Amino acid sequence: MKKLLGLISIVLIFTLVISACGSKKDSAGDNITVKIGILKNVTHAPGFVALQNGYFQDAFGKNAKIEVTAFDNGSDFSTAMATNQIDLGFVGPGPAINQYLKSKNFRVISGSNNGGAVLIARKDAGISSVKDLVGKTVAIPTKGSTNEISLRLLLQQEGLKVSTDTSGVQIITRAPADTLVAIRQKEVDATLIPEPWGTQMVQEGIGQVLVDWDKIPPNDGNYPLTILLASDDFLKDHRDLAKKAIQANLDGIKFIKENPDKAYDLVSAELKELTGKGMDVKLIKAALDHLNLTDEVSLDVIKTMAKVSFDAGYIKGIKEDELDLSKFIDSSLLDEVKAYK
């Protein structure tokens, strides 16, 4: 009899344990805080729309808390991702590649946007071609940024070198808003900058497009400019929520494509929440017209970017043949999301 009671007790305990585990899985989004990072760029429009339309909240569940952190540049974002200050978010591949090769504790789980940066020359700087940039100063948002990678590739194509004197092209860093002011005040000669800043300079009559977005390398504008990342810890503990984040990104892309006019106001509203100031709808429209919204991420293009960063000295501590990005992109979650639909 004692043996029978003991057996029953074991079965009951086992059942309770299994039940508890099942409950935890079923309520993965309940009472959890998900920390999302995003840059204050219109090129992150799918993320903006997903936040404004509540796609993340709906996906994670009404009891989930979402904390959004806005970043001025991809370097700060990537550091935050590597140190688990954020769980997932949108960023450019340049800084993410550099940080990944150091920490290797996060992954690309989806694309969001390809292209959307332009090379602008100050109107009175005497620049009519890329070769005219010799001896000039060109601004990029931050060191190691995707925009700098594109600029270096562009200069390589024209046989130009980067230098700190007038023998080549001088690259300096300025936040996009500061670059606009610098162009107005004739402090810089040109800039490779994400939209809609380029369009704004053209509309103000202070700049002209030297290389349009669909001719910017690599791959003539069809390169990842905004990707969705998630930390390894988040993927390990909340793979289901990571897939729901991918779905929110896909829903954002779909909404913009199907409802562009409605998307303009949503993007402006999210910018206002992130920066305290919205943006003229005409500028947002110009920016979205220059984006290729897609969930695809090309590993070959990513490898090209990594090589440029390595040659520029941003990737240290490893040899060129150790630029292993084979696990940088994890497409399995995106594949599962698409297969489920």
Same fold flag, 30-114+222-340 and 117-215:
yes
For 154-198, the pLDDT digits (tens) are 999 999 999 999 999 999 999 999 999 999 999 999 999 999 999
> What architecture is domain 30-114+222-340?
3-Layer(aba) Sandwich (3.40)
**CA neighbor of 146 nearest in space, from 199, 189, 91:** 91
CA dist., res. 46 & res. 48, Å (int): 5
For 292-312, the pLDDT digits (tens) are 999 999 999 999 999 999 999
For 41-96, the pLDDT digits (tens) are 999 999 999 999 999 999 999 999 999 999 999 999 999 999 999 999 999 999 99
Domain ranges of the chain: 30-114+222-340, 117-215
Confidence tier at 276 by pLDDT (50, 70, 90): very high
Q: Which amino acid is at 164?
A: T
Residue 29 is predicted with a pLDDT of: 57
CATH tag for 117-215 (out of 3.20.20.80, 3.40.190.10, 3.30.750.200, 3.40.50.2300): 3.40.190.10
For 189-211, the pLDDT digits (tens) are 999 999 999 999 999 999 999 99
Residue 11 is predicted with a pLDDT of: 40
CA dist., res. 110 & res. 235, Å (int): 13
Beta-carbon neighbour count of residue 265 at 10 Å?
Answer: 13
Confidence tier at 340 by pLDDT (50, 70, 90): confident
For 102-138, the pLDDT digits (tens) are 999 999 999 999 999 999 999 999 999 999 999 999 9
**Contact predicate 51/270, CB 8 Å:** yes
Confidence tier at 22 by pLDDT (50, 70, 90): very low
Token pair for 181: 């002011």
pLDDT > 70: percent of the chain = 91
Q: Which alpha helices (H) appear in the chain, and where do they start and end?
A: 2-26, 45-52, 55-60, 74-82, 93-103, 146-157, 176-184, 197-204, 232-237, 239-258, 260-275, 281-288, 299-311, 332-340
